[in-house]
């Protein structure tokens, strides 16, 4: 399973490099803190798989990187070779990139 650090994701965003960020957290988590991207709750991924692009790098994130690791592995098993897990999830993003965001 491939992983991307929050620093690498931030560099992609700053450079304007095409990618797709997918947030798989639950609605109450997204309401608490949101770094953007397409929101598809973890349980909806199989039904919403058509929304996941195959032509750009796709980065899956959750709160800590555990659930997104499972979804990244699932998507790989479905033939996606362009997916990566955001290592450390929102926790790492807040700690390293945007400490002004609300803490969980």
Could you list the active site residues? 62
Supply 4's token pair: 């991307």
Placement of tokens 């803190």 in the chain: 33
Distance separating alpha carbons of residues 47 and 65, to the nearest angstrom: 22
Is-contact 59 4, C-beta < 8 A? yes
């Amino acid at each position: 399973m491939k992983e991307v650090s929050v620093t690498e994701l931030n560099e992609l965003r700053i450079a304007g490099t095409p990618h797709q960020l997918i947030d798989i957290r639950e609605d109450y988590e997204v309401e608490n803190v949101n770094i953007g991207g397409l929101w598809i709750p973890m349980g909806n991924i199989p039904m919403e798989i058509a929304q996941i692009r195959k032509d750009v790098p796709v980065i899956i994130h959750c709160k800590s990187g555990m659930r997104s690791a499972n979804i990244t592995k699932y998507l790989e098993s479905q033939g996606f070779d362009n997916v990566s897990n955001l290592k450390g999830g929102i926790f790492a993003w807040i700690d390293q990139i945007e400490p002004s965001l609300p803490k969980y």
